[in-house]
Structure 1
């Protein structure tokens, strides 16, 4: 049987070739070398499985079949993640009105951050990371970047933006966070401290950020009542000021936790549905147990509470989020201290009460996240006619999620605790 592929063929629209992929597997993937290395390959197929989910990259699933394959399931699969501004480009190509631009994001630098993270931590926290075989930096004008990693789809799956976490899943995520932070405390700090600085320039031009993404979000609102309601949040004398206040936002990410007695640590920075893989159960369905945390491209040394706010505002409906807020901080501290006790370390110096106090300001900062992420997902989602009404219901749900976030952010903003930041 002759091969049905050309080693010079590109992996979709990237610079990487099938030949490069096979070389990487043969050099870096021990499982492939041990179990498949002596089998003759009959075909290599590649498809983009991002489906509009990857804001800063495309994810390519590569399937390798063999001349002696017993059936269509007797294949080997692997993943190549290639960074780029694909979602933003697609929105502009589709003519989405007021589509946001990716120009203010340094995506090559974000990819470098993720490469550095995996190079440092792939052996330190294997329980919550995929196996990464090979990394390449993105040097514009010279070559594309990539992460070549294991395919988790046989034993895990992720949720969509419009899905809502349940409480068992939230607690599993918190246990994963506790494991990660235990390892940070126990390992040599020199391996990571000072190597993942906050990209503080991301918080400049907040007026432009709010204006750009709120315009896109307004395109999904169904009536004047919703529009008036949304505008009332954006233009609230306190909330509207705080979400546009660069100095307030910088204080939150750089100093608020320290003032509360919580040390700076590594923060995932983008911990929500799309970047979490859950284990599959015996029937192949998504379970409540995490398999891995993905997409570490904005990992940073800073305020740990940011991960709680991103997770809850972007992955939960209002009722689930509000209920989770009653237990999530206590549960995290208990899990972290339990992890530390197992290895003979003392408990952390901060309490759940301190985390919860910092959460209010961090929540205000995260108000815009469910607002700007919804258009990024739905504007690039391709729906068949049968799914039109389903997606309309999903959009309604996401609008309500955003409104509940705005409602609570307004309550925190009007508490009087942050009046000194109001211009």
Structure 2
């Protein structure tokens, strides 16, 4: 059987070639070297499986067919994650939103952050991290960056933005977060301290961010009544000012936890449905157990409560979120202290009550997440005629999710606790 590929053939029109992929597999993938390197390859395929989900990258699933393959399923698959502004570029082409370019978002810098994170932690947190075979920095003008990773789809799957977590999944995520923070507390902090500074410049021009994405979001609202309802929240004398107040947002993300007695920690920064892989059961259905946390490109030293707010506002309907808020902080502290006790370490110096109190301010600054995420997802999603009405129902559900977030954010803003930031 003759080979059906050329080693200089590009993978999905990127600068990475089949030859590059084969070299990386033979040099860096221990499983491939042990079980597949002696089999002759007859064909190599690659397809983009991002589907508009990856905002700062595309994800290529590459498959190797062998000359002695028993059938089309007897293949070896591997993943190549390549950073870029592909989703934002598509949105700009469609005129859907005046999306930022790579220079503003510093996508190369975000990729460097993720590469550094995996280089430090990939062997220290195997329970929640995928296997990364090779990480290449993005050097503009020289070469693209990439992460060459294991294919987790063999044993897990993720949810979409419009999906809602159930309570068993939420608790599994919290156990994963507790394990992550236990490992941080048990390792020598010199390996990570000072290496993942929060990108404070992302909080500049908040007014333009809020107004720009809210304008796009309003395009999905079907009635004047619904527009008026959201206007009342986004332009509220207190809430509207707080979400546009750069100094308030910077304070909440970088200092408020310290005033609440919560030490600075590493924060995932983008923990929601799309960046969590759940194990699949024997029937291929998504289970309640976390397989891995992905996409660490904005990991930062800051307020760990931000991960709770990001998760709940972007991955849960209002009823599930509100119910989770009644137990999630106690459950996290209990799980973390249990993990620490197993390692002979003392409990954390903060309580669930302290996390819950800080959560109110953090929740306010996460108000815009379900609002700006929805257009980013649906504007790049291609629907078949059969899916059109299904997606319309999904959009309605996401709008309700955002509405419930606004309601609770206004409640916190009206409490008077943050009035000093209104002047």
Between the aligned partners of 2:88 and 2:227, the Cα distance in structure 1 is 24
1:386 corresponding residue in structure 2: 386
Q: Give the deviation of 1:72 after TM superposition.
A: 1.1
Mapped to 2, the partners of 1:149 and 1:273 lie a distance apart of 20
Supply the distance in 2 between the matched residues of 1:183 and 1:292 (Cα, whole angstroms): 15
Q: Distance in 1 between matches of 2:100 and 2:186?
A: 41
Q: Which residue of 2 aligns with 1:309?
A: 309
> What SS does the corresponding residue of 1:125 show, helix, strand or coil?
coil
- TM-score calculated relative to the size of structure 2: 0.99
Give the deviation of 1:93 after TM superposition: 1.5
| Corresponding residue number in structure 2 for 1:50 | 50
> Are the aligned partners of 2:89 and 2:99 in contact in 1 as well (CA < 8 Å)?
no
Q: Quote the offset at 1:95 in angstroms.
A: 2.8
Match of 1:29 in 2: 29
Measure how far apart 1:303 and its partner are: 0.1
Number of aligned residue pairs:
422
Distance 1:136 1:149 in 2: 12
CA-atom RMSD, angstroms? 0.6
Query: 1:91 Cα deviation (Å)?
Result: 1.1
Give the structure 1 partner of residue 238 of structure 2.
238
In structure 2, stretches of 5+ residues that fail to align are none
Task: Look up the match of 1:101.
Answer: 100
**Match for residue 404 of structure 1?**
404
Partner of 1:73: 73
Q: Secondary structure at the match of 1:77?
A: strand
Residue 125 of structure 2 corresponds to 125
8 Å Cα contact 2:45-2:62 kept in structure 1: yes
Report if aligned partners of 1:99, 1:216 keep a CA contact under 8 Å in 2. no
| Post-superposition CA distance 1:320-369 (Å, at most 9, x none) | 00000000000000000000011111110100000000000000000000
1:336 aligns with 2:336: yes
Consecutive unaligned residues of structure 1, counting only runs of 5 or more, are none
**3-state secondary structure, aligned to 1:59:** strand
Distance, in Å, in 1 between the alignment partners of 2:302 and 2:250 is: 11
C-alpha deviations, 1:10-66, integer Å up to 9, x for none?
111211000000000000001001100000000000000000000000000000000
Give matches, 1:251-262, under 5 Å: 251-262=251-262
The list of structure 1 runs, each at least 4 consecutive aligned residues, that deviate by more than 3 angstroms after superposition, is none
Moved more, 85-94 or 57-66: 85-94
Name the residue aligned to 1:136.
136
1:414 maps to 2:420: no
Counterpart Cα distance in 1 of 2:15 and 2:190: 36
Which residue of 1 is the match for residue 13 of structure 2?
13
SS in 2 for 1:172: helix
For 1:180, what is the secondary structure of its paired residue?
Answer: helix
TM-superposition CA deviations, 1:46-102 (whole Å, max 9, x none) = 000000000000000000000000111110000000000000101112232x34223
Contact map agreement 2:61 2:79 (CA 8 A) in 1: yes
Look up the SS of the partner of 2:142 in the other structure.
coil
Preserved CA contact (<8 Å) 1:176 1:290: yes
The answer on whether the counterparts of 1:69 and 1:75 sit within 8 Å (CA) in structure 2 is yes
